[in-house]
């Protein structure tokens, strides 16, 4: 009975999710060859970089709210927004979703530690 219900949950969309799915992408395979400590170091390094980009975006956005005509700030904002997006995509492919918007084949949102746990990777 339960299995029947489970089977019915396949949506049948046949979508090819290789593009987005973190369980089947190349980088995940590479990761499995890395040692645990090495993986954590990389994860922390990437998160620090992502946090730096994101902080720059916040700071520039607040500045631009009161200085919307500052071309230099606008240019920097564009640059960091692009870098943050690229790195966020890469990070999420390797280590799992940072937001509930990230598409996954398996629901990995539950697996990732919360910011108040495990010192916030």
Site residues (vs another protein, CB under 8 A): 20, 47-48, 50-51, 54-55, 58-59, 61-63, 65-68, 84-85, 88-89, 92, 97-103, 112-116, 119-121
- By beta-carbon proximity to another protein, the closer residue of 20 and 79 is 20
Rounded-to-integer distance, Cα 117 and Cα 87, Å: 23
What secondary structure does DSSP assign to 13-65, as a single string?
----GGGT-TTSSHHHHHHHHS-HHHHHHHHHHHHHHHHHHHHHHHHHHHHHH
Give min distance, CB of 121 to another protein, in A.
Answer: 8
- Least spacing, CB of residue 28 vs another protein, in Å: 17
Nearer to another protein, 31 or 56 (CB): 56
Torsion angle of the four alpha carbons 18, 19, 23, 29, in this order, in degrees rounded to the nearest 10: 100
Shortest distance, CB of residue 11 to another protein, whole angstroms?
18
Nearer to another protein, 75 or 103 (CB): 103
Number of residues that this document lists for the chain: 121
Whole-angstrom distance, CA of residue 66 vs CA of residue 104 = 39
CB of 65 to another protein, least distance (A): 4
């Amino acid at each position: 009975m339960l299995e029947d219900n489970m089977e019915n949950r396949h949506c049948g969309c046949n979508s090819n999710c290789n593009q987005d799915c973190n369980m089947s992408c190349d980088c995940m395979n590479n990761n499995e060859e890395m040692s645990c400590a090495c993986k954590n170091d990389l994860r922390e390094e990437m998160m620090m970089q992502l946090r730096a980009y994101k902080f720059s975006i916040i700071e520039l956005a607040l500045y631009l709210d009161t200085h919307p005509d500052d071309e230099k700030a606008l240019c920097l904002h564009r640059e960091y927004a692009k870098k943050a997006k690229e790195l966020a995509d890469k990070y999420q492919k390797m280590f799992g979703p940072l937001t509930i918007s990230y598409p996954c084949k398996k629901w990995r949102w539950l697996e990732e530690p919360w910011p108040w746990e495990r010192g916030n990777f």
